[in-house]
Chain A
Amino acid sequence: MTSFYGIHPSAEVWHGLTLLHFFLVGLAGGSAFLAALSRLRGEGASRNLLLFAALFVALDLAVLWLESPARFRFTHVWLFATFRPASAISWGAWGLLLTLLLSLALAFRKGPERILVPLLFASSLVVLAYPGMLLSENPGRPLWDGFVTGLMPLTGLALAVAFWLVFLRGSLPRLAPPVFLTAGVAALLYPWGLLHGDAGERAAWAGLWQDAGLFYLAAALLLLLAGFFRRRPELAGGLALLGSTLLRSLIVVFGQ
């Protein structure tokens, strides 16, 4: 039996709005990545995709500001007064800012595309990758193992592709099935890896499984299922949107 005298400070500092951030940052990074990839391949990305990428970044930054207990202390200015390579959040802050500026510049044809598109490609990769980096750099949180570094960008990309299919109805079905299937398979491999990890990882997975195992399984299956609806892109997008959102949220909530 363990009890405490005094109040044990809770480590659960990330709540509802933080989950919204993890959702929006995936959409932002994924949308910017798709737009940059499309232009790099000479397909001429939809202007809407660039505008949505900028909108998602702006919304995400607004959410981050809103959820911060320091929002009226305006200390966030320090984020952009320095760059700290060991900090995932530092990468994320600069990645988001650059993605916002580059998406807007490309959408409104301001500046040389030959330079801006590769830069957007790089900054979108940073935005896609940094949530996974942020989670996996915590040695005391065994649920967030190294696998999360790959799983988060994958589900972020799946979010953006799904959003495209549902709301923008673009011509992306060729890309969609492999993205959804890869994310679904990765989601199933993740617990397999944890179960073959150390005692801490096994206990972390057991905790998630006990409290929300069915939701996790459903999220992974939704992503897999989305990969098979080739002729119904909107349905596939809806399933993938739901699966990716659920998966990312569960990993963040239960990893703390």
Chain B
Amino acid sequence: MARYAMAIDLEACVGCAACAVACVTENQVPPGVTRLWIREIEEEGPSRPQVEFRPEQCYHCENPPCVPVCPTGATYQRQDGLVLLNPTKCIACGACVVACPYDSRFLHPDGHVDKCTFCAHRLEAGRDPACVETCPTGARVFGDLEDEEGRLRAALASARRVDVRKPHLGTEPRLFYLNAPRATGLGGEE
């Protein structure tokens, strides 16, 4: 069974937000909400300011806190690791929105919770998620963590540094940030 994950090379990301636009188009995300956004963190570096463009979205955690809190089973985790949501079972109680430590979920105007799905519908057709396909610098890599010869494992192995957000929470995000500009890792609140 595949174990899907994504990596984003922060050295290659230029913050153009093409991924965010592709996500909106592919998933028909309505105005006012978004499944993917770019955090821009500007901090003082040793000699000059450092800027980190960090795309953020659902991390499809290995231990997702959003799944057990769901009272109806609308939010669930597939065997391939994708954390998905069945809108027809969602009562929009907001428990999963609050449970997500990364604020990756939101209330869709249609009255259910929504979030990134790693473009599950495209994966079924053998295609990459829209954000991966559209990235002009190739900063995003998607693949199967179980595939030792795959491009994802290769990207992880060749990275100078690999980080995940809020590792102390034990959620084990399945979106890895490669080559953070700061020597100590991700900027901001991390």
Interface of A with B (CB < 8 Å)? 1-11, 13-14, 18, 68-73, 75-76, 78-79, 81-82, 84, 86-90, 93, 134, 137-141, 256
Contacts and interface: CB of A to CB of B under 8 A. Distances in A.
Contact of A7 (B37, B89, B99): B37
Contact of B20 (A2, A6, A71): A6
B97 A11 contact: yes
Nearest to A8: B37
Interface of B: 15, 17, 20, 32-34, 36-43, 65, 68-74, 88-95, 97-107, 111-112, 166, 169-171, 188
Contacts of A1: 41-43
A75 B40 contact: no
Given A4-B37, A9-B103, A68-B93, A140 B166 contact: yes
Contacts, number: 139
B69 A70 contact: no
Given A6-B38, A138-B99, 15 more contacts: A1-B41, A7-B32, A8-B39, A9-B34, A9-B105, A10-B106, A13-B97, A13-B107, A89-B71, A134-B95, A138-B101, A140-B65, A140-B101, A140-B166, A140-B169
Interface of A is mostly: loop
B75 to A, nearest CB: 10
Given A7-B33, A69-B111, A89-B71, A14 B98 contact: yes
Given A2-B40, A13-B107, A82-B73, A68 B65 contact: no
A6 B37 contact: yes
Given A6-B20, A86-B69, A75 B91 contact: yes
A14 B95 CA distance: 9
A9 B106 contact: yes
Contacts of B74: 75, 78
